[in-house]
Amino acid sequence: MSDENKKPEEQPAEAAPEAAPEAEAAQADASQESAVDPIEVLKAENSELKDRALRTMAEMENLRRRTEKEIKDARAYAISGFARDMLTVSDNLRRALDALPEDDRKNADAGIASLIEGVEMIERDLLNQLEKNGVKKLEPEGQKFDPNFHQAMFEVPNTEVPNNTVVQVMQAGYVIGERVLRPAMVGVSKGGPKEAAPPQAEPGETVDKSA
């Protein structure tokens, strides 16, 4: 048989090209998007916006409260330095009055008596004006010593009152608002009975601390 009559060898059929990975991913995304409920998307966005609004409102409220407190403190404590200086004037007036013996006061002539009365009036008016501006005098005598408001200068042996009771005031203390303007200089008791311990609960019982 001649070469011309030979049939050409059959070639194997070419396989169909596989789909590109990018096309598959695009199809998957499209199917997922079609499966998302638009109502749920809107609900999620609405919830996020509501959360942001609530946070913003809370921050604004905190800012408002801080600002109000700063303004209030500025008004209440702006005169602290001036008030402290005025206390020195009050102390000097009191020292001048205390330096005069009681007998001399009683036997003073009309001129000296008027002078003494005028100094006392000035002292009272000064303290009254300070009190109108939030400055109050501490009255610690007989109270338990408090390092936040009192400054202990010495101890006094005293068996009749509990330990650390203020028994003498050397220099008056003052507060302005809720702050100490000047601590009271005091003498405290020593050697007296100790404070009673808080009641102990029996086994199985509890102590009522609400009183």
pLDDT tens digit sequence for 143-200: 999 999 999 999 999 888 999 999 999 999 999 988 999 999 999 999 877 765 555 5
Could you tell me the pLDDT band of residue 31, with boundaries at 50, 70 and 90?
A: low
What's the CA gap between 88 and 187, in Å, rounded? 21
Domain ranges (residues) in the chain: 135-194
Residue 5: the pLDDT is 53
Q: Which of 46-50, 170-174, 205-209 has the lowest mean pLDDT?
A: 205-209
pLDDT tens digit sequence for 86-128: 999 999 999 988 888 888 888 888 888 899 999 999 999 999 9
Q: Which of 14-18, 63-67, 101-105 has the lowest mean pLDDT?
A: 14-18
What's the CA gap between 142 and 95, in Å, rounded? 23
Average pLDDT of the chain, as a whole number: 81
Residue 210: the pLDDT is 42
Of the two residues 208 and 50, the one the predictor is more confident about is: 50
- Cα distance between the two ends of the chain: 126
Residue 165: the pLDDT is 94
Residue 25: the pLDDT is 60
Residue 146: the pLDDT is 94
Beta bridge partners of 131: none
What's the CA gap between 8 and 21, in Å, rounded? 37
Q: Which superfamily does CATH assign the domain made up of 135-194 to? A: Head domain of nucleotide exchange factor GrpE (2.30.22.10)
Of the two residues 207 and 190, the one the predictor is more confident about is: 190
Q: What is the pTM of this model?
A: 0.58
